[in-house]
């Protein structure tokens, strides 16, 4: 399954790349914060990321989504990034890595 393997590799690279994006208030990476719910990669390099923010209506929401889009788009092998914001389930502090 080389295709699936490649997709898993892309997802892992995206996850690593997104680790550099911090939540400005907490100062921790958004991956570590549990704000990235899902990363899916298609065979043609199209990527779908489902994410949230610590608070619905947070003024940083658009900047965070934009940063995720830019960051994931810079990964080799990614051709298109679709970022979806969700609050279902809403984020809670237990989603953070210890």
Partner 1 sequence: MPGVTISRWTMSYFAAALICLAAGLASTASGFGYPSVPVEAPESLVIIHLIAIGWLGLLFAGSLLQFVPVLASRQLQSPHLALPTLLLTIGGLVLLLTGFLGLADILPFLAWTLPFGGVVLTFAFASLCWMVIGTLVTNRPLSLPAKFVALGCAPLIGVAVMGLLFTLPLSGLTDNSYLVRLVLEAAPAHAYLGLVGWMTVTAVGVSYRLLTMFLLSPEKVRSTSRAAGWLMVAALAAVLYDIVFAGAGTGRKWPLDVAVAIGGTAILLYAIDVYSIFKERKRKSVELNVLSSLVAVAMLVISFILFAVSIAIGNVADMVIPIAYLFTFGWLTGLGLGQLYKIVAFMTWLEFYGPVLGRTPVPRVQDLVNERRASVWFLLYFGATSIATIALIHDVPDVFRWVTIAQLMAVCALAFEFIQARRLALVPASTKLPTGNAISRLFLPSFNGRS
Neighbouring residues of 8: CB distance < 8 A, sequence distance ≥ 6: none
Pairing mode of beta strands 80-85, 46-51? parallel
In the bound state with partner 1, the residue whose beta carbon lies nearer, of 67 and 78, is 67
How far is residue 82's CA from residue 17's CA, in Å, rounded to a whole number? Answer: 16
Q: Which residues bind partner 1 (CB under 8 A)?
A: 20-22, 24-27, 54-71, 85, 92-94, 96
Distance of closest approach, residue 11 Cβ to partner 1, in angstroms: 17
In the bound state with partner 1, the residue whose beta carbon lies nearer, of 40 and 84, is 84
In the bound state with partner 1, the residue whose beta carbon lies nearer, of 13 and 69, is 69
In the bound state with partner 1, the residue whose beta carbon lies nearer, of 4 and 55, is 55
Alpha helices in 1-98 (DSSP H): 2-18, 61-73
**Cβ pair 20, 14 in contact under 8 A:** no
């Amino acid at each position: 399954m080389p295709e699936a393997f490649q997709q898993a590799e892309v997802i892992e690279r995206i996850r690593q790349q997104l680790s550099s994006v911090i939540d400005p208030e907490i100062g921790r990476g958004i991956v570590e914060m549990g704000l990235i719910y899902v990363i899916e990669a298609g065979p043609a390099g199209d990527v779908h990321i489902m994410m949230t923010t610590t608070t619905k209506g947070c003024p940083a929401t658009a900047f965070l989504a934009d940063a995720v889009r830019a960051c994931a788009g810079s990964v080799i092998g990614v051709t298109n990034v679709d970022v979806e914001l969700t609050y279902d389930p809403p984020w809670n502090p237990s989603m953070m890595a210890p």
